[in-house]
Structures are given as structure tokens and as C-alpha cells.
């Protein structure tokens, strides 16, 4: 039945994890006591709390993680709790651990779905902006000049017609270049052809050649693995931005890229860890706060956050820079169409 609001108000504050309840959360085994008052850690009862004597509590654990506790007091017959009672409550605790873990996984899944949809919406907004301010402008300019070409041609103004045709064709060429840039910017074709590991390996080779680095090591354990397209794109873009920053700012000769899948017992999916490290000049991270446009940090932070991941950067003058991002390893079959 529980307590009414008035009864709860008379008792006072709810337990805060002190005394025996706090002890229970630190244990691996059940705690069975014939008389609570006899235990040295029995404390924290409000003045109007109902009297309690016998106590049986079990921690609710999943592996090494404590999810909570389940406890009973004052057995109905007035006798202390027995070993059989302990076994029964332990079984209930085990079921509760599974239920709580499943709820956590469901919440995590819902969060990942929200992240995927948010990432897709962000890409769509970027597409709309690029189309409106880029490709569409080139096409409209080309159309205008080709209309002028037709008018000049029909009016037998050959010089003007030639100029307008030349301008119209030039804008069409710009439109082709812009459309290729848009396609590349949204999802590199290398991801579709080579997968995440192959695309990042190709990226590393290109950046090494462009930067003139003496050494660039790429290590991974995801050969043949495929993930959700938005996740692969996000990881690739973070790697691309980190390598670009290293090329432009680090003045390094040595760079290392790690791309590793790691098991995660607390989540439904493994974790994908990306680390880009250079042994260059480094910088004071705090001094770059608010100056993300200069070093490209904001783009990496936003992409990682949208995918429900974690981002960190460690750098100091003369010590180089480490960029690390971890992502939930959403498999390919869990792409979502919004």
C-alpha cells in the first residue's frame, strides 16, 4: 500500500544512503540482522520513523556495478529472517538486476536513436544551406546568362552571344565542381567502397603525403566491420579534422592514429575509440576556448556529441596533442530513416 503523503511528511526525509543502507551498497553479499539496533552502523533514522528490528537486505548488482539494493524489515511473524528468506530475496534481487539493466539499455537505445535522428537533421540542414547558397546560385546564374545568350543570338548580336554563352558555361562548370564538393562533404565515397577502416587508412596516406610527415602509423582492429552510416561518417570526419589540424598547426613529423573497438559491459553495443596523436608543438587548450573556428575543435565536439559519444583533447606546448573521441558502436543494421 505504501505511505500517504501525510504519513511520509510526519516521518521526515527519505533515506540518504547512510548507515546500513550505505553499507549494503558496498557489499557483494546479503546483509541479515536479527536486531537493527545491535549493528554498529545502524544510524540515520528520523524521530518519527516506524520501529524496525529484523532486517534482510541484498545489493542489486550487475557484474562489478551496484545498481541499487532491495531490503525488508520486521518479518510478519516477528521472528528473524532465515537463510531460506535470504535465498528468496537474493533471487528477487537477481531478477531486479536484469530488469534494471534492460531498462538502462532501453534508455540508452532511445538516446542513440535520438542522436542518430539529430545527426541526420543536422546533415539535412547543412545540405539545404549549401544548396541554397552554393549550387543553386551557380545554376541560376548559368540560366540567366544562357537566356541572355539566346536573346543575343536571336538578335544577331554575335559578340554578346559569345560572351553570355561563355559565362553561362563557366557557371555550369562551377555548378559541377560544387555538386562534387557537396557529395564528398556529406559522405566520402571511400566509406561506401572501403568501409570505415579502409577509408581512414586511405585518409591517413593522403594526409601523410600532403603534410610530408616522416611517420604516420595507423592501427585498428575493425577490419571488415560495418557500422551505421551516420556513425561511420561522424568518425571519419572527426579523424579528418584532427589530421587536418595536425597538418596545419602541429609542425610535427610523427603522427599516430588508433581506431579500436572495445567491449562495453554496461551498454548494448561496443565502443569505438578514435585517437589521433601528434608529437608536434602542442598548445594550451584553455587558451583556445571560444576560438574553435581556428583549430576546428567545435566541429569534432559537435559530431561526437550528436552520436552520444565522448570527446577529449590533451595538449601542452612542446608535448604534442592527443585528440580522443569514443562512440557507441552502432551496427549497420541499426541505421534509422527519419
Average pLDDT over residues 203-226: 94
> In terms of domains, do 303 and 201 share one?
yes
Q: Does any domain span residue 268?
A: yes
pLDDT of residue 281: 94
> What is the sign, positive or negative, of the torsion defined by CA atoms of 103, 106, 112, 116?
negative
Average pLDDT over residues 164-170: 91
> In terms of domains, do 44 and 154 share one?
no
Can you tell me the distance from the alpha carbon of 323 to that of 310, in angstroms, rounded to the nearest whole number?
A: 11
Q: Which of 34, 62, 81 is the last residue of a domain?
A: 81
pLDDT of residue 44: 61
Can you tell me the distance from the alpha carbon of 102 to that of 179, in angstroms, rounded to the nearest whole number?
A: 45
Q: Where are the beta strands (DSSP E) in 178-309?
A: 215-220, 254-262, 271-278
> In terms of domains, do 233 and 329 share one?
yes
Boundaries of domain holding 232: 194-334
- Percent of the chain past pLDDT 70, that is, above it, reads 83
Can you tell me the distance from the alpha carbon of 65 to that of 79, in angstroms, rounded to the nearest whole number?
A: 32
> In terms of domains, do 217 and 178 share one?
no
User: Measuring CA to CA, how many Å separate 40 from each of 19, 35, 37, 141, 165?
Assistant: 9, 11, 8, 85, 94
In this structure, what CATH number is given to the domain that contains residue 63? Answer: 3.30.450.40
> In terms of domains, do 163 and 252 share one?
no
Between 111 and 145, the more confident residue is: 145
Q: Does any domain span residue 100?
A: no
Average pLDDT over residues 85-100: 89
Confidence tier at 235 by pLDDT (50, 70, 90)? very high
Confidence tier at 37 by pLDDT (50, 70, 90)? confident
> In terms of domains, do 170 and 268 share one?
no
Q: What's the chain's average pLDDT?
A: 83
- Percent of the chain past pLDDT 90, that is, above it, reads 32
- Three-state SS at 327: strand
Return the number of other C-beta atoms located less than 10 Å from residue 90's C-beta: 16
> In terms of domains, do 219 and 173 share one?
no
> In terms of domains, do 290 and 201 share one?
yes
pLDDT of residue 45: 67
Q: Does any domain span residue 107?
A: no
> In terms of domains, do 145 and 198 share one?
no
Q: Does any domain span residue 297?
A: yes
Residue 72's DSSP bridge partners are 56
Residue range 281-328, pLDDT digits in tens: 999 887 765 554 454 677 788 888 888 889 999 999 999 999 999 999
Q: Does any domain span residue 88?
A: no
Q: Which of 81, 103, 138 is the last residue of a domain?
A: 81
> In terms of domains, do 52 and 179 share one?
no
> What is the sign, positive or negative, of the torsion defined by CA atoms of 14, 16, 19, 20?
positive
> In terms of domains, do 198 and 180 share one?
no
In this structure, what CATH number is given to the domain that contains residue 264? Answer: 3.30.565.10
Q: Does any domain span residue 90?
A: no
Between 121 and 256, the more confident residue is: 256
Query: Contacts by 187-192 with C-beta closer than 8 Å and gap 24+?
Result: 187/229, 187/233, 188/233, 188/236, 191/229, 191/232, 191/233, 191/236
Average pLDDT over residues 97-104: 85
Can you tell me the distance from the alpha carbon of 151 to that of 155, in angstroms, rounded to the nearest whole number?
A: 6
Can you tell me the distance from the alpha carbon of 140 to that of 76, in angstroms, rounded to the nearest whole number?
A: 84
pLDDT of residue 119: 66
Predicted TM-score (pTM) of this structure: 0.53
Confidence tier at 120 by pLDDT (50, 70, 90)? low
- Three-state SS at 212: coil
Confidence tier at 15 by pLDDT (50, 70, 90)? low
Q: Which of 158, 184, 210 is the last residue of a domain?
A: 184
- Three-state SS at 314: strand
> In terms of domains, do 203 and 178 share one?
no
Q: Does any domain span residue 87?
A: no
User: Measuring CA to CA, how many Å separate 145 from each of 156, 161, 165, 172, 189?
Assistant: 16, 9, 7, 10, 33
For residue 234, pLDDT beyond 50: yes
Q: Does any domain span residue 116?
A: yes
Domain total of the chain: 3
The answer to whether the CB of 313 falls within 8 A of the CB of 323 is yes
Q: Where are the beta strands (DSSP E) in 5-144?
A: 31-33, 55-62, 65-73
Amino acid at each position: 500500500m505504501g505511505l500517504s503523503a501525510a504519513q511520509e511528511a510526519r516521518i521526515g526525509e527519505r533515506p540518504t544512503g547512510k548507515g546500513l543502507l550505505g553499507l549494503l551498497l558496498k557489499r557483494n553479499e546479503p546483509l541479515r540482522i536479527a536486531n537493527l539496533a545491535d549493528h554498529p552502523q545502524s544510524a540515520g533514522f528520523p524521530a518519527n520513523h516506524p520501529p524496525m528490528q529484523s532486517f534482510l537486505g541484498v545489493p542489486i548488482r550487475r557484474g562489478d556495478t551496484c545498481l541499487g539494493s532491495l531490503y525488508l524489515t520486521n518479518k510478519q511473524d516477528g521472528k528473524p529472517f532465515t537463510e531460506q528468506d535470504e535465498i528468496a530475496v537474493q533471487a528477487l534481487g537477481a531478477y531486479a538486476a536484469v530488469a534494471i539493466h534492460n531498462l538502462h539499455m532501453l534508455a540508452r537505445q532511445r538516446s542513440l536513436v535520438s542522436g542518430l535522428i539529430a545527426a541526420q537533421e543536422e546533415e539535412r540542414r547543412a545540405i539545404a544551406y549549401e544548396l541554397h547558397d552554393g549550387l543553386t546560385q551557380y545554376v541560376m546564374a548559368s540560366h540567366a546568362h544562357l537566356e541572355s545568350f539566346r536573346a543575343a543570338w536571336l538578335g544577331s548580336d554575335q559578340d554578346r552571344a559569345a560572351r553570355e554563352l561563355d559565362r553561362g558555361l563557366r557557371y555550369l562548370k562551377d555548378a559541377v565542381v560544387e555538386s562534387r564538393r557537396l557529395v564528398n562533404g556529406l559522405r566520402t565515397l571511400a566509406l561506401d567502397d572501403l568501409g570505415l577502416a579502409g577509408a581512414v587508412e586511405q585518409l591517413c596516406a593522403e594526409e601523410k603525403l600532403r603534410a610530408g610527415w616522416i611517420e604516420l602509423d595507423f592501427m585498428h582492429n575493425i577490419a571488415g566491420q560495418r557500422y551505421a552510416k551516420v556513425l561511420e561518417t561522424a568518425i571519419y570526419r572527426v579523424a579528418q579534422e584532427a589530421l587536418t589540424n595536425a597538418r596545419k598547426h602541429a609542425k610535427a613529423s610523427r603522427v599516430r592514429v588508433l581506431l579500436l573497438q572495445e567491449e562495453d559491459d554496461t551498454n548494448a553495443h561496443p565502443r569505438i575509440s578514435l585517437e589521433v596523436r601528434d608529437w608536434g608543438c602542442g598548445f594550451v587548450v584553455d587558451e583556445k576556448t571560444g576560438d574553435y573556428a581556428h583549430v576546428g575543435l567545435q566541429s569534432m565536439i559537435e559530431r561526437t556529441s550528436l552520436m552520444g559519444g565522448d570527446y577529449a583533447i590533451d595538449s601542452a606546448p612542446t608535448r604534442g596533442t592527443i585528440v580522443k573521441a569514443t562512440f557507441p558502436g552502432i551496427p549497420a543494421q541499426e541505421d534509422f530513416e527519419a
